[in-house]
């Protein structure tokens, strides 16, 4: 089962083509209102509604279209985290694809990256990136026409790291947390690529300019 959790996205016209094939879609704040206006069916909206346009539909009108849970403005978690928790509880074991544009909020971007420690079946999408967290193992790095670059950000010390079949290869290296050594690698047309490491955790980031 695949679930889409959309925490913030400005350009809905770009997002909508990405939403095919999901079993359920959850959203919050103005993004949820914009999706409803475009005819996208939402299973639930969870939000404190502190950034909803005053020119849009009322809360009562939104509640007539989908399930709505109103959060207090003062709370110990973001709307996005509450949304993820609800989706995970309702569909345990489902694949969670999280969409967020982030805009100017670096704090929200970092908070979303921290969700990888709680939701192990999560992929994070921004307009030009796809991010996954992986633990020690052997991974096939499949090429995609959607992304030109592939980077690896070490969250812990990585031991026994090998990158095979990309433009810049490494063999059996130790790499320190947040080193820029593994940033901005590229695929080679027609080549299969692998990531292998024996200890640690890292982010795989697929991206475009």
Name which CATH class applies to 2-127.
alpha beta
Rounded CA-CA distance 165/163 in Å is 7
CB 139 within 8 A of CB 196: yes
Bridging pattern class, strands 158-164 and 194-207 = antiparallel
Q: What is the pLDDT of residue 52?
A: 67
Of 151, 170, 148, 152, nearest to 160 (Cα)? 170
Q: Is 135 helix (H, G, I), strand (E, B) or coil?
A: strand
**pLDDT given at position 50:** 72
Backbone region of residue 75 per phi and psi (left: phi > 0; alpha: psi in -120 to 50; beta: other values): beta
pLDDT at 53: 67
Residue pair 197/158 in contact by the 8 Å Cβ criterion: yes
| pTM assigned to the model | 0.90
Please give the pLDDT value at position 69: 87
Q: Delimit the domains of the chain by residue range.
A: 2-127, 132-207
pLDDT at 87: 93
Which of 3.90.1150.10, 3.10.20.520, 3.40.50.10240, 3.40.50.150 is the CATH number of 132-207?
3.40.50.10240
Predicted pLDDT of residue 51: 67
**3-class secondary-structure state, position 8:** strand
Same-fold call for 2-127 versus 132-207: yes
pLDDT in tens, the chain (209 residues): 999 999 989 888 999 999 999 999 999 888 999 999 899 999 999 888 776 667 777 777 888 888 888 888 887 888 888 999 999 999 999 999 999 988 777 888 888 999 999 998 999 999 999 999 999 999 999 998 889 999 999 999 999 999 999 999 999 999 999 999 999 999 999 899 999 999 999 999 999 98
Largest CA distance in the chain: 59
Alpha carbons 90 and 207: distance in angstroms, whole number: 31
Q: Are strands 170-175 and 185-186 parallel, antiparallel or unpaired?
A: unpaired
Cα separation of 152 and 139, whole Å? 13
């Amino acid at each position: 089962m695949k679930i889409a959790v959309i925490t913030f996205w400005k350009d809905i016209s770009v997002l909508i083509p990405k939403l095919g094939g999901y079993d359920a879609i959850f959203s919050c704040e103005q993004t949820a209102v914009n999706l409803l206006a475009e005819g996208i069916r939402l299973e639930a909206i969870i939000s404190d509604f502190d950034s909803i346009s005053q020119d849009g539909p009322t809360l009562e009108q939104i509640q007539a279209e989908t399930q709505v849970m109103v959060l207090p403005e003062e709370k110990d978690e973001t709307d996005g985290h509450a949304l993820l928790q609800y989706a995970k509880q309702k569909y345990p074991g489902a694949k969670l694809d999280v969409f967020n544009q982030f805009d100017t909020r670096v704090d929200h971007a970092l908070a979303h990256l921290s969700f990888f420690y709680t939701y192990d079946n999560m992929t994070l999408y921004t307009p030009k990136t796809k991010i996954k967290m992986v633990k020690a193992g052997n991974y096939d790095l499949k090429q995609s026409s959607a992304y030109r670059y592939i980077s690896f950000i070490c969250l812990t010390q990585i031991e026994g790291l090998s990158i095979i079949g990309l433009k810049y290869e490494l063999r059996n290296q130790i790499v320190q947390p947040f080193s820029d050594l593994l940033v901005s690698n590229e695929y080679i047309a027609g080549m299969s690529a692998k990531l292998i490491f024996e200890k640690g955790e890292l982010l795989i980031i697929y991206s475009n300019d």
